[in-house]
Amino acid sequence: MVNSSIEVRARMHAALAEPVRLVIVDQLALGDASPGELGAVVDLPTNLLAHHLKALEEAGLVRRVRSEGDRRRSYVQLRWEDADVARLLAAAVAVPAGPVSRVVFVCTRNSARSQLAAAAWARASRIPVTCAGTRPADRVNPRAVAAGRRHGLLLGDAGTRHVAETVRPGDLIVAVCDFAHEELVAAPPVAVGTGGPAFGGRRGWLHWAIPDPVRVDTDDAFETACADITHRVDRLAGALAAAPS
């Protein structure tokens, strides 16, 4: 008798036995994307894209999450927390086309997620890093400082800054917040997309749909955000380190 784990893995392999779905998975390896953004990459009409996304979702490879900003939007992300998915997709990677001179993590207030991501990046990569906000707060959130300290990330002396005064040509922007991502899509700073790396989608840009721990305001929420951020940072740092210069 075939055990349930084998059956699950077989469904995953079957779902990936289609080139378009492999392209979608590779596109999601380093960042989340809306169905519309994925459709632009694979050049498919809405109905065919929906068919492929449904197959990946039913196989347990991806999920859709509702935007915390524009609730009419949803984003597709890989289910990395599932051990079978992580093993199967270990080789999935969207290799950037073009060099990365600096990484800029952006969230709305620049008080928690972007600060944690920048601190995690400084530990994981030699590529310069900074962070910014679309509507920066006066200070870094104390719970973010405490969560960072528990994970060996120092945020105590960090300041906040505005994205328009921070981003420069050649930067890779990583929006770790749905609000910030959607604000920047609607009105990007002049420097966005000028000389930055391409990942098959928008030039010089990645999006991580990480829930806002400040909204929940518990230690558990910050722990969850920190774990998600460090996992994503490690994957991106590894991909950039492996990319041709």
Three-state SS at 48: helix
Instruction: Supply the pTM of this predicted model.
Output: 0.91
> Any idea what DSSP says for residue 81?
T
Q: For position 74, which CATH number holds?
A: 1.10.10.10
- Counting residues of the chain whose pLDDT is more than 70, the rounded percentage is 88
Residues 163-181 have a mean pLDDT of 92
- pLDDT computed for residue 198 by the predictor: 52
Co-location of 195 and 143 in the same domain: yes
Q: What is the pLDDT of residues 3-32, one digit of tens each?
A: 577 888 899 999 999 999 999 998 899 999
At 33, the pLDDT band (50, 70, 90 cuts) reads very high
Residue 241 has what pLDDT?
84
Which CATH number do you get for residue 185?
3.40.50.2300
Nearest to 68 by CA among 220, 176, 181, 211: 211
Is 47 found in the same domain as 119? no
The last residue of a domain, from among 88, 119, 146: 88
Q: Is the pLDDT of residue 94 over 80?
A: no
Instruction: Quote the domain boundaries for residue 210.
Output: 102-242
In this prediction, residue 48 has a pLDDT band, given cuts at 50, 70 and 90, of: very high
Q: Are residues 112 and 224 in the same domain?
A: yes
Note the pLDDT of residue 3: 59
Give the total number of structural domains in the chain. Answer: 2
pLDDT, one tens digit per residue, over 189-240 is 655 655 555 555 556 889 999 999 999 999 999 999 999 999 999 999 988 8
- How large is the average pLDDT for residues 155-175? 88
Q: What average pLDDT does this structure show over 75-101?
A: 82
